[in-house]
C-alpha cells in the first residue's frame, strides 16, 4: 500500500507527495471494518488544510465509485485529470473526460464511473458550501508583495 510522503513543513506550509498519478491506484482508504476503497487517498489532513479536504482517486476501466452519496454541508469540485467516464448527479448523466470539472452542492446525489479503456484519475475538493462572500474574491483577497523571488 502506498502512503503519503511528507516532503517538508514550516510555520506557514506543509508539502507532501502522494505519488505519480499512475500510482494513485496503490493507495487504500479504509472506510470501516468491511470496506476498503482501493485507489483513493484523502490528503487534506496530511497537509494541515484548515478550510477544505481533498482526495485523489483512480477508477479502473468499468469501475464506479460504489455508491451514491450526498453531504451535510460540503460542496464538492471534481476534476477529471485522466481518462473518461460518466458522472451522475440527481439522476442526470454527464459525460466527462480529462479536463472536465463538476461542482456538486451538498444535497446532490452523486457517483462517478469509468467508461473508458484506461484508468480514470480524479481530484475531488470539498469545502463548506456558501462559505465565500463577495469579500472573498481572489481579486481582493490576494496581496502582491514587493519581496524578491529567491529561486
Identify the CATH number of the domain in which residue 89 sits.
2.60.120.10
* pLDDT range class, residue 2, cuts 50, 70, 90: very high
| The length of the chain, given as a count of residues | 151
Phi/psi of residue 25, each to 5°?
-60, -20
* Count of structural domains within the chain: 1
79 in a structural domain: yes
90 in a structural domain: yes
Residues 6+ apart with CB under 8 A from 60: 25, 39, 114, 119
What is the pTM (predicted TM-score) of this model?
0.91
For cell 476498503, what's the residue? Answer: 36
Cβ–Cβ under 8 Å, residues 74 and 128: yes
**What whole-number distance in Å separates Cα of residue 2 and Cα of residue 41?**
9
143 in a structural domain: no
53 in a structural domain: yes
DSSP secondary structure code for residue 116 in this structure: S
Find the domain containing 120 and state its range: 5-131
Is the pLDDT confidence value at 52 over 90? yes
**What whole-number distance in Å separates Cα of residue 86 and Cα of residue 94?**
5
**Of 122, 106, 113, 32, nearest in space to 66 by CA:** 113
Is the pLDDT confidence value at 32 over 90? no
pLDDT tens track for 117-128:
999 999 999 999
136 in a structural domain: no
**What whole-number distance in Å separates Cα of residue 64 and Cα of residue 42?**
18
Amino acid at each position: 500500500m502506498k502512503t503519503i510522503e511528507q516532503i517538508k513543513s514550516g510555520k506557514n506550509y506543509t508539502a507532501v507527495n502522494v505519488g505519480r498519478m499512475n500510482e494513485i491506484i496503490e493507495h487504500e482508504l479504509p472506510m470501516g471494518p468491511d470496506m476498503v476503497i482501493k485507489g483513493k487517498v484523502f490528503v487534506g489532513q496530511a497537509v494541515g488544510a484548515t478550510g477544505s479536504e481533498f482526495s485523489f482517486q483512480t477508477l479502473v476501466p468499468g469501475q464506479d465509485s460504489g455508491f451514491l452519496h450526498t453531504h451535510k454541508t460540503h460542496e464538492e469540485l471534481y476534476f477529471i485529470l485522466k481518462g473518461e467516464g460518466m458522472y451522475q448527479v440527481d439522476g442526470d448523466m454527464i459525460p466527462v473526460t480529462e479536463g472536465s470539472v463538476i461542482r456538486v452542492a451538498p444535497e446532490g446525489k452523486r457517483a462517478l464511473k469509468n467508461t473508458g479503456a484506461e484508468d480514470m484519475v480524479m481530484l475531488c475538493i470539498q469545502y463548506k458550501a456558501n462559505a465565500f462572500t463577495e469579500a472573498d474574491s481572489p481579486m481582493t483577497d490576494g496581496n502582491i508583495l514587493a519581496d524578491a523571488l529567491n529561486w
